Structure 1
Amino acid sequence: MRKFIALAGGLLASILGSAFTGLAMGTWVFQHTGSATQYGITLVINLLPGIVFGPVAGALVDRYSRRAILIGSELVSAVTVLGLALLYAAGALQPWHIFVVVGIQSLVRALQLPALSSVVVLLAPKDQVSRANGFVMLAQALGNTVGFAAGGVLLLAIQLDGVLLVDFATFLVNILILAFVRIPRPPRSETASEAEGRGLLAEIRVGFRVLGTRRALRVLLLFSAALNLSLGFADAMLTPLVLSFASAAALGLVVASMGIGAVLGSTALAMWGGPRRRVNGLAGFALPLGLFLCVGALRPSIPLIVVAALGFTFCFTITDGTNRNILQLEVEPDVQGRVFATYNVVSGAVLAVAYVLAGPVADRVFEPLLRPEGSLAGSVGSVLGTGPGRGMAFLMLLVGVVMLITAALAFVQPSLRRLADRPATRREPEEARAAAVGEVA
């Protein structure tokens, strides 16, 4: 477990540096061009290449050394941000340079995420896997809160090139830590052997086949998709909902509460490990997650939304961590790169669909329904209120109800209950390490 904590420490340094840079690059593009469209392009490029490349990335993670992939990913990221810093210092930096680097980093993350997820079971004892996931999620949550907040301060203090050099230094720190962490190779399984020697495409299909043909894992993936759909709608509607009745400063408070919820949830996982019965970590925390969505929709009140946002992200973090914990314990270690890549592709695609649908559905359907003269003003409007933002609140309420129904169905789904509660069927990490004596990734 000490090796994994060291790896998580390096990951935290790298994520914090990337958070500094992510905020700084997007801000520079907007300030340099004055175009919200250009800024939006940055966000799309940050997401799309990783989704498209994800299945290939998973096959590469399982085919090659995980440690080599992690070190190589950090080296590529370090070289790209150093290149941006040199361009900025020379006065030659252009928005398209930022777009290229953001796209490269999206591809790099597509490799890193399944590699990190599959490393957990190789470095942490079985009974500590959930806590190890908590440490990874804590690093990510701190990057998304402390990292972004500090990134704004650093941008003002040391300019874009200074922020990029700080990020470059964090990559070097993580590379140094990875160089001294031994990662055993996972034992070969029958699942992986079936695709061996049949080409990259056959290897890619393994991830889809494992999640698609094992009934319990298929149910787990559907549950995760519903969870991410609720997250996507909540995330997409939060800003316009709050700004429909409050100030930008109030929105900042709500966003901060979401970050705090994620930090608290991941800290709880790291210290506690989650419920002993894993179905309680899935459906048990999805129930209050849905309730928090419903509560946040009831009134145009900042204190109410702050509490709901904090509770939502806290519960989401526990549920998502438990979900990944089950996959790590139920899937053979040597195919986890492909399985987690497929899982991440599905999660990312569901989030993207939610982002695309939320705005038009709210603007064209729900907002008109709850205008003062809308068709639901006298019924739903008597509870939620009418006017700007209340249609979005109604949509948020319905998403919360769907999440409550999903959680209830998960509790009574036999295959999911057996999957969440039975002991792991894979070889223990200690056995994997014993089988891989002398090998390093």
Structure 2
Amino acid sequence: MKTFVILCLGQVLSSIGSGMTYFSLTIWVWQKTNSAASVALILVFYQLPQIIITPLSGVLPDHFSHKKLLIGSDLGSALCTFSVGILAFLQILDVKYIYLIASIIGCFGNLQTLSYITLIPLIVPSQHHARVSSMGAIIIYSAGIVAPALAGILFPVIGLTGITIIDMTTFTIAAMTILILPMAFQIKSNKRTNQPLVIAQLKEQLIGNIIFGFKYIYRHSNLSKILIIFSLFSFVEGISDVIYQPMILAKTGGNTELLGIIVALGGVGGILGGTICSIWGGFKKRTTGIFAGFVIIGFSRLVMGLIARPQLWLIANFGASLPSPLITSSYMAIWYKKVAQEIQGRVLAVDYLIGTVISSLAGLAAGILANRALLVLTNLNDFSILPINKIFGPPPGSGMALLMVFCGVIAFLLGLWGLLIYQHRDD
């Protein structure tokens, strides 16, 4: 546990620095373009390369040193962050450069995540695995609290270059924690006997594993059904998660401090939800946890889109984050129960891959649909007797508010259908 705690502390700082950079890039792109589509494309370009690299990232930790993989992925991400700071300092940073850098960082981040996940069983006793998983969730949401709050305050003062300097500092500390860990941290698989041969076999293994995972899910109807339902929710929630920040910026005249507080309170909701879930353990019927979470998140997004008041945005974003750990833990518990342990890696890799594709499509659709929603509102305002501008507010931001409401309604109804109908028919 001592090794994990040291690693954990370093990752907390690194996550805060990375979160500050991402949040600042969101603000920077919005200020330059005033376009929800441009903001959404940051996430799209971050995630798209992961669709290709995820199977490879899952295999590499079985054959190469976890320590080297973690340091290499951290170093690659740090160099990308450094390049953002330099370009911003020289005043030649452009949106297209951000998209390119986001793609590269996505690849390194994917490798880091899978290396970290596969490392935990090697350095933590089995009786502490559940505790470690809860700590990992708290790390993510802790960064979600601190990073946007700090970035929202500091970005107007020190700019993007200053934010990247902070990020580089946190990276240096995280890298030092990895370097001081004992040599036992570099445990390698016995499979690493002939690395050229291993690399030559990776392609065949990757294709075979992906095909196996898809076939397994297709043949088990309960898994395929819950995957489809969860993917639909993930798509609409992914759209909401992408557009709510530019929507708030548009409706508040670019108030970064307020946005930072709202995002931070969402992190508080995630930590509270994770803590409650780790103590309670969730519903015995796992689908209840999933669909109840859908209802809460859907209603929260509906409120966020309909009522343009900062106080209600704070509450709604808290509500949208609170049930997320319950949904995730309930969903994963179903997969752990239904999939034999010896094949979980191959099957869960396909689930992870599908999730990445859905998230990327949601980010791509968010900007396009927000612009379409704005056109719909304009036409309705011209030809309808309804007070459209009073409901969704005037542009900018009204199209994103309408899209937020639409996504919230779908998530709410999906959860309600699941609670009333689906889970009484399927386990």
TM-score, normalized by the shorter chain, greater than 0.5: yes
1:78 aligns with 2:75: yes
Distance 1:204 1:179, change over 3 A: farther
1:65-92 per-position Cα deviation (integer Å, ceiling 9, x unaligned): 6xx3464133342366369769989x99
Of 279, 285, 292, 2:300 maps to 292
Q: In the aligned structure 2, how far is the partner of 1:212 from the partner of 1:288? A: 30
**Quick one: which of 284, 304, 310 aligns to 1:302?**
310
Report the count of equivalent residues.
403
Kindly state the Cα deviation for residue 171 of structure 1 after the two structures are TM-superposed: 2.4
Tell me what 1:413 maps to: 422
| Structure 1 partner of 2:370 | 362
Deviation at 1:106, TM superposition (A): 1.7
The residue type equivalent to 1:113 in the other structure is T
Is 2:391 the counterpart of 1:384?
Answer: yes
Do the aligned partners of residues 83 and 323 (structure 1) sit closer, same or farther apart at CA in structure 2, a change above 3 Å counting? closer
Alpha-carbon offset, residue 290 of structure 1: 1.4
Shift of 1:303: 1.7
1:173 is aligned, of 153, 172, 177, to 177
The worse-fitting range, judged by mean Cα deviation, of 302-311 and 326-335 is: 326-335
CA separation of 1:290 and 1:101: change in aligned 2, threshold 3 A? closer
- Within 5 Å, which residues of 2 pair with 1:255-266? 255-266=263-274
Q: 1:70 to 1:184 in 2, by over 3 A?
A: closer
Q: Which residue of 1 aligns with 2:407?
A: 399
Q: Aligned partners of 2:292, 2:45: CA distance in 1, in Å? A: 35
By how many angstroms is 1:52 displaced? 2.3
Residue number in structure 2 paired with 1:426: none
Task: Flag the 1:215–1:253 CA change in 2: closer, same or farther, 3 A.
Answer: same
Q: Describe the shift of the 1:64–1:269 C-alpha distance in structure 2 as closer, same or farther (beyond 3 A).
A: farther
Partners of 2:217 and 2:5 lie apart in 1 by: 29
Equivalent residue, structure 1, for 2:320: 312
CA drift of 1:414 comes to 5.1
| Alpha-carbon shift at residue 202 of structure 1 (Å) | 0.9
Counterpart of 1:428 in structure 2 is none
Tell me the CA shift for residue 402 of structure 1.
1.4
Contact 1:81 1:167 in 2 (8 A): yes
- Taking a change above 3 Å as real, the CA distance of residues 75 and 114 of structure 1, as seen in their structure-2 partners, is closer
Output the CA distance in 2 between the equivalents of 1:182 and 1:278.
Answer: 37
CA deviation after TM superposition for structure 1 residue 276, in Å:
4.2
Q: Is the 8 A contact 2:150 2:260 kept in 1?
A: no
Q: Tell me the equivalent position of 1:429.
A: none
Uncovered stretches (5+) of structure 2, i.e. residues with no partner: 191-200
What are the within-5 Å matches in structure 2 for residues 12-411 of structure 1? 12-20=12-20, 22=22, 26=25, 44-61=44-61, 63-64=62-63, 68-69=65-66, 71-78=68-75, 81=78, 102-117=102-117, 123=124, 132-150=132-150, 153=154, 156=158, 159=162, 160-161=164-165, 163-174=167-178, 176-177=180-181, 180=184, 199-249=205-255, 250-365=258-373, 367-369=375-377, 373-378=381-386, 381=388, 384=391, 387-388=394-395, 389-411=397-419
Secondary structure, aligned partner of 2:381: coil
Q: Is the 8 A contact 1:21 1:164 kept in 2?
A: no
State how far apart, in whole Å, the 2-side matches of 1:153 and 1:244 are.
20
**Deviations for 1:207-265, whole angstroms, at most 9, x for unmatched residues?**
33343332222223223212321222212332343345434334344333323323332
- TM (norm. structure 1) is 0.71
Partner of 2:195: none
Aligned equivalents of 1:211, 1:13: Cα separation in 2 = 38
Q: Give 3-state SS (helix, strand or coil) of 2:277's partner.
A: helix
Post-superposition offset of 1:141: 1.8
Q: Which amino acid aligns with 2:422?
A: Q
1:382-437 CA-partner distances (Å, limit 9, x unpaired): 9936643455434322322211232234344359953xxxxxxxxxxxxxxxxxxx
Equivalent pair of 1:369/1:375 in contact (CA under 8 Å): no
- CA–CA separation in structure 1 for the residues paired with 2:26 and 2:305: 31
Counterpart amino acid of residue 294 in structure 1: L
Query: What TM-score does the superposition give when structure 2 sets the normalisation length?
Result: 0.73
Which shows bigger deviation, 316-325 or 154-163? 154-163
AA aligned opposite 1:204:
I
Give the secondary-structure state (helix, strand or coil) at the position aligned to 1:248.
coil
Question: Within 1, Cα distance between the matches of 2:143 and 2:338?
Answer: 29
User: Does the aligned pair in 2 maintain the 1:133–1:270 contact within 8 Å?
Assistant: no
Q: Percent identity?
A: 20
Partner of 1:434: none
Q: Is the alpha carbon distance of 1:301 and 1:320 closer, same or farther for their aligned partners in structure 2, counting shifts above 3 Å?
A: same
Q: Is the 8 A contact 1:21 1:167 kept in 2?
A: no
Distance 1:39 1:403 in 2: 23
SS at match of 1:373: helix
